[in-house]
């Protein structure tokens, strides 16, 4: 449904997006995971035609965006990171306005508005002016407006940023519901939990580049099948050399107060811990867990996603 090839965007000497290539299959959720400033919004803006790429191409439903942008935009629904609604209008008036722009009229428009207001949980507040809505309610209406014309591909740019847990759960469920009906979703987020539990396939981005791409299981496999060991303590610069000699242990991070290691598959965690204590480390806390996407981001970039 969506094919992006060698997409690049430069602003003077700044390369905001650097040669991105990925494919989002029909009826699936493809995620772009990365910190603020990774290039996710710039990528969304090029795919929907708001920004002209410096190079590369975008195809939606087999149509080249550069050759026929109007045909592509008819197939797109865009939910921007910045809420784009008319606050003096009611929820239903906002939906009717945008539905009218896409050519919906009469009974078809009324039916679609009612359906979407039920879907996002705003049916009982549909006639109130949007200015009295909470941030979460505005986010849900923003999502409904991107769906009003029944697009084949929906671009969701950080749709749950800054909202309460209940509104977030509602939005995530709506995303699952529209995908179950055959809609394709491109989903950008910096929330690891969302990406891990929502997306069928994921690309991890930083500084405008894709660092890793695949299904959640494929991405986690890049860390291996071992356990992640996190140590809190007081560490000096010489100690990494002592630790590196311990068998079955691979260093992911080392700082003055924290160190992270991957215990390789087949190695005994108990034996590794005994060797660590025997190495003379001054430890305050030890945590053992299964690796996740945050650990993969740390491995790829040398820093945490929230840094």
- pLDDT at res. 295: 77
- 265 and 211 in a common domain: no
Is pTM beyond 0.85? Reply is no
- 186 and 106 in a common domain: yes
268 lies in some domain: yes
How far is Cα of residue 152 from the mean position of the Cα atoms in its chain?
19
Q: Is 307 a residue whose pLDDT tops 60?
A: no
Q: Is 63 a residue whose pLDDT tops 90?
A: yes
Higher pLDDT, 166 or 116: 116
- 212 and 68 in a common domain: yes
306 lies in some domain: no
- 171 and 85 in a common domain: yes
Mean pLDDT along residues 119-143: 95
Most confident of 156-170, 177-191, 238-252: 177-191
- pLDDT at res. 207: 93
Q: Is 238 a residue whose pLDDT tops 60?
A: no
β-bridge partners, 258:
232
Mean pLDDT along residues 232-257: 76
- 258 and 119 in a common domain: no
- 132 and 51 in a common domain: yes
Residue at a domain's end among 220, 243, 270: 220
193 lies in some domain: yes
- 34 and 127 in a common domain: yes
31 lies in some domain: yes
- 280 and 237 in a common domain: yes
Number of structural domains found in the chain: 2
Higher pLDDT, 226 or 70: 70
Percent of the chain with pLDDT over 90: 63
- pLDDT at res. 270: 83
210 lies in some domain: yes
- 286 and 145 in a common domain: no
253 lies in some domain: yes
Residue 237's CATH number? 3.30.70.980
- 163 and 110 in a common domain: yes
299 lies in some domain: no
296 lies in some domain: no
Q: Which of 204, 214, 196, 227 is nearest to 298 (CA)?
A: 204
- 286 and 202 in a common domain: no
Residue 72's CATH number? 3.40.50.300
Domain assignment of residue 257, given as a range: 224-290
Residue at a domain's end among 191, 220, 249: 220
- 248 and 208 in a common domain: no
Q: Is 306 a residue whose pLDDT tops 70?
A: no
Residue at a domain's end among 190, 220, 250: 220
């Amino acid at each position: 449904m969506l094919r992006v090839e060698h997409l690049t965007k430069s602003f003077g000497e700044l390369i905001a997006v650097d040669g991105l290539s990925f494919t989002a299959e029909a009826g699936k959720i493809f995620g772009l995971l990365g910190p603020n400033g990774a290039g996710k919004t710039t990528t969304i803006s090029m795919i929907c035609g708001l920004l002209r790429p410096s190079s590369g191409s975008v195809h939606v439903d087999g149509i080249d965006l550069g050759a026929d942008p109007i045909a592509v935009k008819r197939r797109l629904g865009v939910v921007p990171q910045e809420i784009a609604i008319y606050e003096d209008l009611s929820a239903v008036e906002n939906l009717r306005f945008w539905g009218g722009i896409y050519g919906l009229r009469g009974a078809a428009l009324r039916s679609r508005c009612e359906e979407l207001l039920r879907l996002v949980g705003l049916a009982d507040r549909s006639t109130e002016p949007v200015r009295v809505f909470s941030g979460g309610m505005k986010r849900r209406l923003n999502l409904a407006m991107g769906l009003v014309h029944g697009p084949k591909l929906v671009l969701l740019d950080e749709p749950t940023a800054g909202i309460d847990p209940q509104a977030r759960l509602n939005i995530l469920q709506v995303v699952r519901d529209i995908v179950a009906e055959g809609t394709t979703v491109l989903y950008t987020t910096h929330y690891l939990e969302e990406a891990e539990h929502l997306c069928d396939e994921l690309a991890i981005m930083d500084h405008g580049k894709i660092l890793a791409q695949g299904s959640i299981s494929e991405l986690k496999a890049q860390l291996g099948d071992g356990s992640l060991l996190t140590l809190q303590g007081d560490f000096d610069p010489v100690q990494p050399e002592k630790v590196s000699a311990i068998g079955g242990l691979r260093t992911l991070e080392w700082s003055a107060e924290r160190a992270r290691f991957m215990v390789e598959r087949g190695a005994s965690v108990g034996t590794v811990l005994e060797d660590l204590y025997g190495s003379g480390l001054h430890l305050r806390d030890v945590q053992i867990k299964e690796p996740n996407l945050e650990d993969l981001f740390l491995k790829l970039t040398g820093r945490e996603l929230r840094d």
